[in-house]
């Protein structure tokens, strides 16, 4: 069974500072994989490397066996990988519906079509409606994304990420800044929308991580120090040390 | 030939220094505030006209001192009551504000001083021959212009690198938010930098006015070239602006001095479709060269020669 | 009213307006002005495809207008000389294709980056083409430009397009077609993604789109429509000169579009109509009309970045929900202050013109609102300055009331929205 997403000795250096120092990971199709680690470990940088915002200094990223390291973000997205952002990154002046429509366009094959009205495209409208239902924002269809509440924007963020029906989904701290109730709702949403897809998630909230993940990787100073089932990670000495230092147990 | 090269180099360096006087202010303003000041050449023009007006009633030297100060004060006011207001609307609005301002300055100048050139004269104290080389004379006023530009450059460098204010400004050039959080009054620094930048442009105008023609179109002649300079030099780089100013100054001066054309080089029979181009002389091409350089630079190396940022 | 009818109604009314306008405004001046408005509407709409739709601020858009016009006028002359069967109504298509060709070529270079770098490239290219026009004299005709005679072309359905009324209808027809086409483009996947790229080019990349490609296609379209406008100008004025592709023309279309309002489709249309009107009427009345344009532009940038359309839409919303009456008292208070300030400022500017440009012995008198103001008399200046100062001072004093009124309006609008 080939990996949905695999990283081979991935390295990234900024100037003289190495941030990612050789990360290798194999993520199986349909797996829910969480990446945790202390602040500054390089988790978001790792996401940037996988999704194409940064080019690796060395090493490889492969999506479904095909090499994607070095490609532009849109080329990677077209091959079936989509990511969300830690700081909400949507289209503020477009409505919720419009945001989702735009997210669905390329994967439905419409590309740069300037000869057909978008309102006529049934598949786009249906996909957008369906997405709105799933993320629970149907009631806010025509509201400008910029004026939504924080939790609603985070939900929209996820909606835009899954809008292209990508097989591999990267979520960067999806529950950041949320209250307990909001987090629970977000987790239920994530579980629902990533059914049958491969999910890689960066998270700080351990309850989310242990509730959702099939496997957890721990990133410390740009290296993966452990990659295992949640229970094993919980008991892992190196992980505890990384998080709590020598003193705590 | 040697005569051509010597004098073209002298004139080219002078033109370059003049460009740098303005480009330095523009770079400082852009680096700190992210605003590309379209009205910068307008401040240059105001410097020339204020210098003219003062020299008409009192004398050249009072004008030399007062005119840049007036322009600087005007610049500070523009920043305080105009630019600061527009800042919250975004960079595009700031750009458009200075764009509109440039236009308004030109129109106001036409109202106050008319559309024809004004008689801004070289002061008699400087109106002599500096030296004679290869049968051609070089006016002392040009040496004075060169000296002023060099002195200004030295002054700027000293302030930026040796004083505390300069240190703060250097920091605010790349990290304005951090500087604000350290407790410095960044809006005031912005106002000062904008005012000083305007004053520098004004000074350039005061000394260039008598040598070049002082007329309402002078801002539009120099304005676009200024942008070429800072883009070619690299947005945000003072050294880059210096190098680019000299480069463009020298290239343009040489181009104007070299009066040959394809026709003169290769004979009068033009290949098809090149009719007009065959006859054109390099001197006629001179105005086009900076823009060609700009476009080429933006295609191949948008960060410019020494720039660190694209926007 | 059915949804279809509601959609078609504005278009029908627009078409009707185009058809009936010359019946209402039938003077020669009106026809010329309306023809010019038609041309400028297309030009401004093409410009807003870049600025308002895709977020690209260009300082050199007139290049495509001018080059389209020059190619068109050469085509017209060629057709006349060769007695080629090309009627005038097809010339705008020639201009459009020329615009498209140059847009394609220059767009490859221009759209590599966005933001300030794009703006600077557009400036540089504009200056490049502008400066080249003095070198390439055969194509650009040097200082006199290139002239033509539209009546010598093959007639179209019996029309030779000699009289201005026929030219008006030609312009109006093309204008209507272009408005429809450009509007339709905004409703396509391509158009929507252009809006997305304007908002957040970064995110657009992560949903599968190349921002560069979107900008490039938008650029080509904008150049195409600008070329159509240029060709119509060539037909209308029967002359093209280098000024029409220069920095001033680029500045004019920026002014029109921004003052009209870049955030709304009809903004550029409003801007083109009003600015053209002012341009024609004001230039006869005062020498400082360009100054007033500049000040108007700065005023919009400072106080109403949404332009006239934005301002109108704000009020339209309040009107529709019946909340607009709350604004009436504060507006009534502030209006005289603004009026006084404007009158004072205009008086000072006009007096300044006459004062500084007076020939010795001629005097400088301004005829203003039925009064004779002597620019040489300090009293006139003091009066004007007093009026300006009073206007500004009272305006600043009374403006908070306007803010309060809007606060109340917004409060009630929100209440009604949530009810």
Question: pLDDT-derived band of residue A99, with 50, 70 and 90 as boundaries?
Answer: very high
Residue A226 φ then ψ, to 5°: -160, 145
CATH topology (fold) of C2-309: ABC transporter involved in vitamin B12 uptake, BtuC (1.10.3470)
How far C261 CA sits from the closest chain B CA (Å)? 13
What pLDDT score does B256 carry?
79
Contact at 8 Å (CB) between A50 and A5? yes
3-class DSSP state of B37: coil
Name which of A101, A124, A164 is nearest C208 (Cβ-Cβ).
A164
The reported pLDDT for the residue numbered C314 is 87
Contacts of C76 (CB under 8 A, 6+ apart): C86, C88, C91, C148, C150, C153, C234, C235
Q: With beta carbons less than 8 A apart as the criterion, state whether B233 and B76 touch.
A: no
A183: pLDDT strictly greater than 70 = yes
Q: Which residues of B233-256 are buried (b: 16+ CB within 10 A; e: fewer)?
A: bbbbbbebbbbbbbbbbbbbbbbb
pLDDT, tens only, A105-162:
999 989 899 999 998 899 999 999 999 999 989 999 999 999 999 989 999 999 999 9
By the 8 A CB rule, do B3 and B135 touch?
yes
Mean pLDDT of C201-225: 95
Question: Would residue B183 count as lying in a domain?
Answer: yes
Q: Would you say C189 and A121 are in contact if contact means Cβ atoms under 8 Å apart? A: yes
For residues C46 and C230, the answer to whether their CB atoms sit within 8 Å is no
Average pLDDT (A167-180) is 91
Q: What percentage of chain A exceeds 70 in pLDDT?
A: 97
pLDDT digits (tens, 9 = 90+) for A186-227: 899 999 989 889 999 999 888 899 889 999 999 988 899 889
- Domain containing B15 equals 2-217
C49 close to A (CB below 8 A) = no
Is position B229 within any domain?
Answer: no
Residues 170-199 of C with CB under 8 A from A: 184-185, 187-193, 195-196, 199
- Name the least confident of A92-96, B119-123, C78-82, C237-241: B119-123
Handedness of CA C297, C301, C304, C308 (dihedral sign): positive
For residue C231, is pLDDT > 90?
yes
Q: Mean pLDDT in chain C?
A: 90
**Length, in residues, of chain C:** 419
The answer on pLDDT for C361 being more than 80 is no
Greater model confidence, C169 or B262: C169
The reported pLDDT for the residue numbered B288 is: 83
B109: confidence class by pLDDT, cuts 50, 70, 90? very high
pLDDT at A246: 46
Which of C53, C124, C291, C307 has the most B C-beta neighbours within 10 Å, making it the best mutation to test the interface with B? C124
Distance CA B80, CA B74 (A): 10
The answer to whether B16 touches B176, Cβ cutoff 8 Å, is no
CA distance B65 to chain C (A): 26
Residue given tokens 């959609």 in the structure block: C7
Read off the DSSP letter of residue A144.
B
The predicted pLDDT at position C347 comes to 87
Q: What is the pLDDT of residues A10-46, one digit of tens each?
A: 999 998 889 999 999 999 999 999 999 888 888 999 9
The DSSP annotation for C163-219 comes to SHHHHHHHHHHHHHHHHHHHHHHHTSHHHHHHHHHHH-HHHHHHTT--HHHHHHHHH
The three-class DSSP label of residue C414 is helix
CB B31 within 8 A of CB B176: no
- Taking the C-alpha atoms of residue B290 and residue B293, their distance in angstroms, rounded to an integer, is 5
For B125-178, write each residue's pLDDT tens digit: 777 777 777 677 778 888 888 888 889 888 888 888 888 888 887 787 677 778
- Cα distance from A103 to chain C (closest Cα, Å)? 6
What gap in Å lies between CA C189 and CA A117, rounded to an integer?
7
pTM (two decimals)? 0.91
Whole-number Å distance between alpha carbons of B93 and C298: 10
Is the distance from CB of B13 to CB of B153 less than 8 angstroms?
no
Cα–Cα distance, C308 to C277 (Å, whole number): 15
Residue A185 inside a domain? The answer is no
Torsion angles phi and psi, residue A83, rounded to 5: -135, 155
Q: Would you say B231 and B297 are in contact if contact means Cβ atoms under 8 Å apart?
A: yes
Nearest to C66 by CA among C303, C252, C290: C252
Query: Across the interface, which of C187, C188, C196 has its CB nearest the CB of A102?
Result: C196
Residue A247 confidence (pLDDT): 44
The residues, ordered by sequence, that sit 6+ positions from A52 with a Cβ below 8 Å of its Cβ are A68, A71, A72, A73, A74, A75, A76, A77, C205
The pLDDT confidence band at residue B310, using thresholds 50, 70 and 90, is very low
Please name which of B107, A125, A107 lies closest in space to residue C291, comparing C-alpha atoms.
B107
Distance CA A182, CA A136 (A): 13
Kindly indicate the confidence band of residue B259, based on its pLDDT and cuts at 50, 70 and 90. low
DSSP assignment of B161-198, as one string? HHSHHHHHHHHHHH-HHHHHHTT--HHHHHHHHHHHHH
Average pLDDT over residues B292-302: 81
Label residue B75 by pLDDT band (50, 70, 90).
Answer: very high
- The beta strands (E) that lie in chain B are given as 129-133, 136-139
Measured between CA atoms, the residue of chain B closest to residue C355 is B112
Helices (runs of H) and strands (runs of E) counted in chain C:
17, 4
Q: What angle do CA A227, A231, A233 make, to 5 degrees?
A: 35
Q: Of residues B122 and B201, which shows the higher confidence score?
A: B201
Alpha helices by DSSP H, C90-163: 91-110, 115-132, 137-140
Residues pairing with B281 in the sheet: B261
Q: Which of C187, C213, C214 sits opposite A118 (nearest CB)?
A: C187
Separation CA A148–CA A156 (nearest Å) = 9
The total number of structural domains that make up chain B: 1
Cross-strand partners of A61:
A7
pLDDT in tens, C276-293: 999 999 888 888 899 999
Residue C33 CA, chain-centre distance (Å), reads 14
B276: pLDDT strictly greater than 80: no
Question: How large is the average pLDDT for residues B37-65?
Answer: 92
Q: CB distance C189–A113 less than 8 Å?
A: yes
Tokens of A202: 């960066």
Position B123 in a domain:
yes
> What is the C-alpha to C-alpha distance for residues B12 and B247, in angstroms, rounded to an integer?
8
Rounded to whole angstroms, the Cα distance separating B130 from B143 reads 7
Q: How many residues does chain A have?
A: 249
Report the residue count for chain B.
311
Residue A19 included in any domain: yes
Tell me what pLDDT residue A20 has: 92
Can you tell me the distance from the alpha carbon of A179 to that of A169, in angstroms, rounded to the nearest whole number?
Answer: 23
Which of the given ranges, B180-194, C13-27, C358-372, has the highest pLDDT on average?
C13-27
- Residue A249 is predicted with a pLDDT of 41
Element housing C239 (H / E): strand C239-240
Instruction: Note whether C206 contacts A82, CB cutoff 8 Å.
Output: yes
Q: What is the DSSP letter of C25?
A: S
What is the span of the domain harbouring residue A234? Answer: 1-78+204-243
Distance CA C190, CA B21 (A): 45
CA distance C129 to chain A (A): 30
- Residue A93, chain C, CB below 8 Å: the answer is yes
Residue B66 has pLDDT above 90, yes or no: yes
Inter-chain contact C205–A73, Cβ cutoff 8 Å? Answer: yes
Which residue from C57, C66, C72 is spatially nearest to C129, judged by alpha carbons?
Answer: C66
In whole angstroms, what is the distance from residue B18 CA to residue B14 CA? 6
Q: Is residue C359 less than 8 Å (CB to CB) from chain B?
A: no
Q: Tell me if C131 and B295 make a contact (CB, 8 A cut-off).
A: no
Residue B263 has pLDDT above 90, yes or no: no
Q: How far is CA A131 from CA A100, A188, B260, C192, C203, in A?
A: 7, 15, 68, 18, 18
Q: Using alpha carbons, select from A217, A241, A220, A238 the residue that is nearest to residue A229.
A: A217
> In this predicted structure, what is the pLDDT of residue B234?
81
Residue B296 lies in a domain: no
Q: By the 8 A CB rule, do A219 and A46 touch? A: yes
Confirm whether A168 is domain-assigned. no
- Would A178 be classed as within a structural domain? no
pLDDT at residue number B279: 65
- Sort C289 into a burial class: Cβ within 10 Å, 0-12 / 13-18 / 19+: middle
Contact between residue C164 and residue C31 where contact means Cβ atoms under 8 Å apart = yes
CA–CA distance, B34 with B36 (Å, rounded to integer): 7
Give dist(CA C146, CA B242) in Å, integer: 42
Q: Do C185 and A111 touch (CB under 8 A)?
A: no
Which helix H or strand E contains C375, and what residues bound it?
A: none
Joined together, the tokens standing for residue B32 give 């700190």
A122 is a domain residue = no
Q: What is the pLDDT of residue C283?
A: 87
**B192 burial via Cβ count (<10 Å: 0-12, 13-18, 19+):** middle
Pairwise pLDDT comparison (C80 vs C377), residue with the higher score? C80
Question: Chain C residue with minimal CA distance to B299?
Answer: C109
Domain count, chain A: 1
pLDDT > 80? residue C217: yes
Average pLDDT score over chain B:
84
Residues C366 and C372 sit within 8 Å (Cβ to Cβ): yes
Which residue(s) pair with C374 in the sheet? C365
C-beta of residue A102 within 8 angstroms of C-beta of residue C198? no
Whether residue A52 lies inside any domain: the answer is: yes
Q: Which residue has the tokens 């609102």?
A: C369
Please give the average per-residue pLDDT across C188-206, as a whole number: 94
Q: Measure the N-to-C terminal CA separation of chain A; round to a whole number of Å.
A: 38
Please state, in angstroms and rounded to a whole number, the distance separating the CA atoms of residues A23 and A56.
Answer: 11
């Amino acid at each position: 069974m080939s990996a949905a997403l695999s990283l081979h000795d991935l390295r990234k250096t900024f100037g003289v500072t190495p941030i990612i120092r050789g990360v290798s990971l194999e993520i199986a199709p349909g797996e829910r994989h969480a990446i945790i680690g202390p602040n500054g470990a390089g988790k978001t940088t790792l996401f940037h490397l996988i999704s194409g915002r940064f080019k690796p200094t060395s090493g490889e990223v492969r999506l479904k066996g095909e090499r994607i390291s070095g490609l532009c973000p849109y080329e990677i997205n077209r091959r079936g990988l989509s990511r969300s952002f830690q700081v909400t990154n949507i289209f503020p002046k477009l409505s919720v519906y419009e945001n989702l429509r735009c997210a669905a366009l390329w994967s439905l094959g419409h590309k740069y079509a300037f000869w057909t009205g978008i309102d006529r495209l049934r598949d786009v409208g249906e996909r957008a409606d369906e997405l709105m239902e799933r993320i629970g924002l149907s009631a806010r269809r025509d509201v400008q994304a910029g004026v939504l509440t924080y939790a609603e924007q985070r939900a929209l963020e996820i909606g835009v990420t899954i809008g292209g029906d990508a097989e591999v989904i990267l979520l960067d701290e999806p529950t950041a800044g949320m209250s307990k109730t909001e987090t629970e709702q977000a987790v239920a949403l994530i579980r629902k929308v990533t059914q049958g897809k491969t999910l890689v998630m960066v998270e700080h909230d351990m309850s989310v991580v242990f509730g959702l993940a099939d496997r957890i990787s721990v990133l410390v100073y740009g290296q993966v120090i452990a990659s295992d089932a949640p229970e094993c990670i919980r008991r892992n000495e190196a992980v505890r040390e990384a998080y709590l230092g020598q003193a705590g147990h | 030939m040697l005569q051509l090269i010597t004098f073209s180099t002298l004139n080219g360096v002078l033109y370059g220094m003049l460009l740098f006087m303005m480009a330095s202010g523009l770079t400082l303003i852009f680096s700190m505030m992210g605003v590309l000041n379209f009205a910068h050449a307008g401040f240059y023009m105001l410097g020339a006209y204020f210098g003219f007006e003062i020299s008409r009633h009192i004398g050249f030297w009072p004008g030399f001192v007062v005119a840049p100060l007036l322009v600087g004060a005007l610049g500070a006011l523009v920043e305080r009551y105009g630019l600061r207001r527009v800042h919250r609307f975004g960079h595009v609005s700031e750009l458009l504000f200075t764009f509109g301002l440039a236009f308004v300055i030109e129109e106001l100048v036409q109202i106050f001083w008319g559309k024809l050139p004004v008689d801004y004269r070289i002061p008699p104290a400087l109106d002599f021959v500096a030296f004679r080389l290869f049968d051609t004379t070089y006016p002392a006023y040009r040496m004075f212009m060169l000296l002023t530009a060099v002195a200004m450059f030295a002054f700027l460098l000293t302030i930026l690198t040796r004083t505390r204010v300069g240190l703060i400004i250097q920091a605010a050039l790349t990290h304005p938010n951090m500087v604000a959080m350290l407790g410095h009054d960044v809006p005031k620094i912005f106002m000062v930098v904008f005012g000083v930048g305007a004053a520098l442009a004004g000074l350039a105008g005061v000394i260039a006015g008598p040598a070049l023609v002082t007329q309402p179109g002078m801002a539009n002649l120099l304005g676009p070239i200024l942008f070429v300079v800072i883009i070619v030099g690299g947005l945000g780089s003072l050294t880059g602006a210096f190098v680019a100013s000299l480069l463009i100054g020298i290239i343009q001066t040489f181009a104007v001095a070299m009066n040959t054309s394809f026709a003169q080089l290769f004979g009068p029979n033009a290949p098809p479709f090149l009719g007009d181009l065959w006859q054109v002389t390099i001197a006629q091409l001179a105005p086009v060269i900076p823009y060609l350089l700009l476009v080429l630079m933006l295609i191949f190396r948008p960060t410019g020669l020494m720039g660190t940022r694209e926007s | 009213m059915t949804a279809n009818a509601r959609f078609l109604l504005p278009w029908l009314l627009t078409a009707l307006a185009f058809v009936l306008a010359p019946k209402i405004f039938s003077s020669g001046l009106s026809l010329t002005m309306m023809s010019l408005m038609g041309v400028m509407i297309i030009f401004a709409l093409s410009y807003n495809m870049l600025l308002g739709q895709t977020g690209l601020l260009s300082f050199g858009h007139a290049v495509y207008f001018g080059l389209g016009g020059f190619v068109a006028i050469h085509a017209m002359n060629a057709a006349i000389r060769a007695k080629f069967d090309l009627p005038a109504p097809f010339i705008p298509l020639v201009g459009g294709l020329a615009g498209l060709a140059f847009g394609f070529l220059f767009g490859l270079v221009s759209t590599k980056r966005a933001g300030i770098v794009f703006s600077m490239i557009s400036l540089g290219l504009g200056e490049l083409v502008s400066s080249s026009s003095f070198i390439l004299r055969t194509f650009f005709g040097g200082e006199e430009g290139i002239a033509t005679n539209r009546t010598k072309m093959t007639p179209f359905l019996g029309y030779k397009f000699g009289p201005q009324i026929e030219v008006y209808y030609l312009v109006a027809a093309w204008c209507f077609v272009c408005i429809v086409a450009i509007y339709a483009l905004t409703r396509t996947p391509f158009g929507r993604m252009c809006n997305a790229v304007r908002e957040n080019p970064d995110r657009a990349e992560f949903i599968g789109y190349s921002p560069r490609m979107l900008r490039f296609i938008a650029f080509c379209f904008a150049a195409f429509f600008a070329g159509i406008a240029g060709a119509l100008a060539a037909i209308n004025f029967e002359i093209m000169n280098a000024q029409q592709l220069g920095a001033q023309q680029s500045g004019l279309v920026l002014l029109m579009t921004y003052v009209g309002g870049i955030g709304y489709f009809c903004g550029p249309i409003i801007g083109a109509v009003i600015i053209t009107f002012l341009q024609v009427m004001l230039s006869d009345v005062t020498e400082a009309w360009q100054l007033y344009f500049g000040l108007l532009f700065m005023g919009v940038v400072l106080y109403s970045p949404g332009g006239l359309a934005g301002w109108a839409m704000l009020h339209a919303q309040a009107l529709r929900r019946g909340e607009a009456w709350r604004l009436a008292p504060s507006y009534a208070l502030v209006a005289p202050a603004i009026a006084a300030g404007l009158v004072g400022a205009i008086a000072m500017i006009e007096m300044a013109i006459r004062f500084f440009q007076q020939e010795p012995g001629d005097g400088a008198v301004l005829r203003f609102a039925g009064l004779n103001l002597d620019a040489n008399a300090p009293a006139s200046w003091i009066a004007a300055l007093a009026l300006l100062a009073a206007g500004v001072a009272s305006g600043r004093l009374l403006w908070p009331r306007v803010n309060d009124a809007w606060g109340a309006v917004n409060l009630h609008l929100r209440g009604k929205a949530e009810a």
